[in-house]
Amino acid sequence: MKHNENQRPRFGVAPSPRVAALCIALVALTLVGVSGRADEDDTYYLTAWRYGAIAWVQTVSLGVAFFTDRLTWAADYAFTFWGLDAPTPPASWEYPEENPSKFSMTGLPQIRKKDPSTGEMWRLDPLLWRGEQIYPLLVIAFRNQETMRSLLHDPWVGAMFTAGAAAISGAELWLRTLLGCPRIVLCDVIESTATLVHEFAHWLFFEWYKLRGGAISTPPPRFIREGVAEVTEARFRSADRRDTAALFWSADRRDDYVREWLESNRLADGVSGHDDYVIGEGFVRYLVELLTPLGFLETLPDWGSRPAELIALYEPGWRASLGLPRECGTDQGDAE
């Protein structure tokens, strides 16, 4: 999950002629315990996307084509940064005449949707990645950050990636129905491209970890997961000279923060709160430089099964690279 920045670029895009062609239909979700009246808050549109579909909450953005292209570009960047090809999209997208009330899984690796009026099943075809079929990705796009936070009942929530069908605590019932889709990115349509890159790096991480035999029930520590996304985002920002956040929060400034943290903390004792992002980025950046991007990715299953061993193996060298003692002085004492 990535909390949004205070300042983000806003994109003014003329209405696209593809809106009418891409938009399938307006959905009015009538759920148990919810009034049959089609309120504005329980409607969304579906449009096709290269790696799955986009569910537009309440209304379709006038910049649908531009936003869709930005999604594709950000997803491709997240994969290519790590030296990997992006997934191969399905050959076709089947457009139902009438949208279903929810996404649901009826078998690996397809997301199937049932038209309640006809009983006909429609599906999002799986993607192909490194010789394996993987689930397509559903992007739930809110018209702005305020709408997103209001509907999710969370004043701090930002863009996020989630895998699995777990509902977000406190979310409206209409949103919970969408979460039957096993790969989800939630964001607003004016989200910065850098933040989208961050979320798609989580997608890459999850698919790679699963492909390499990592146990989903025992993922790597959160600072590793966020570190992967932060390293990917930071590299994107450093390549964008217009990105003022990259100038303010450079690698040197991050390293200063990391050194201060390491003076009184160890990875073995855990990383808490927002430090997962900064500490994780510094540590993963070190590992990428040490092992190469692909070499680091190959260690991810081990980070899930034996993280303590890998921390003991790599943390001393990381500390030394920052000009610090190889062991935390406050915990280790003055050994003679």
pLDDT of residue 35: 24
Is residue 103 scored above 50 in pLDDT?
no
Q: Which residue has the higher pLDDT, 312 or 63?
A: 312
pLDDT-based confidence at 114, cuts 50/70/90? low
pLDDT of residue 263: 93
pLDDT of residue 66: 87
Are 226 and 283 spatial neighbours (Cβ–Cβ below 8 Å)?
Answer: no
* Mean pLDDT score across all residues of the chain: 74
Are 194 and 236 spatial neighbours (Cβ–Cβ below 8 Å)?
Answer: yes
Query: Residues near 125 by Cβ (< 8 Å), separated by ≥ 6?
Result: 90, 91, 92, 93, 94, 110, 136
Is residue 170 scored above 60 in pLDDT?
no
Taking the CA atoms of 42, 201, 51 and 125 in sequence, report the sign of the dihedral they define. Answer: negative
Residue whose C-alpha is closest to residue 127's, from 74, 80, 85? 85
Is residue 137 scored above 60 in pLDDT?
yes
pLDDT of residue 90: 76
pLDDT per residue as tens digits for the range 14-51: 223 222 222 222 222 222 222 222 234 446 677 778 89
Percentage of the chain lying above the pLDDT 70 cut: 65
What's at 134, amino acid-wise? I
Which residue is it, tokens 């089947």? 94
pLDDT-based confidence at 204, cuts 50/70/90? very high
pLDDT of residue 150: 86
- pLDDT-wise least confident of 7-11, 94-98, 227-231: 7-11
The pTM for the full model equals 0.77
Tell me the two tokens of residue 111: 């997301």
pLDDT of residue 335: 33
User: Which helix (H) or strand (E) element contains residue 208?
Assistant: helix 193-211
Query: Residues near 81 by Cβ (< 8 Å), separated by ≥ 6?
Result: 201, 232, 235, 236, 293
pLDDT of residue 336: 31
pLDDT of residue 244: 53
Which residue is it, tokens 């209405």? 15
pLDDT per residue as tens digits for the range 233-278: 998 987 665 555 555 556 677 888 999 999 999 999 999 888 999 9
pLDDT-based confidence at 292, cuts 50/70/90? very high
What's at 249, amino acid-wise? W
pLDDT-based confidence at 98, cuts 50/70/90? very low
pLDDT-based confidence at 54, cuts 50/70/90? confident
- The one-character DSSP state at 232 is H
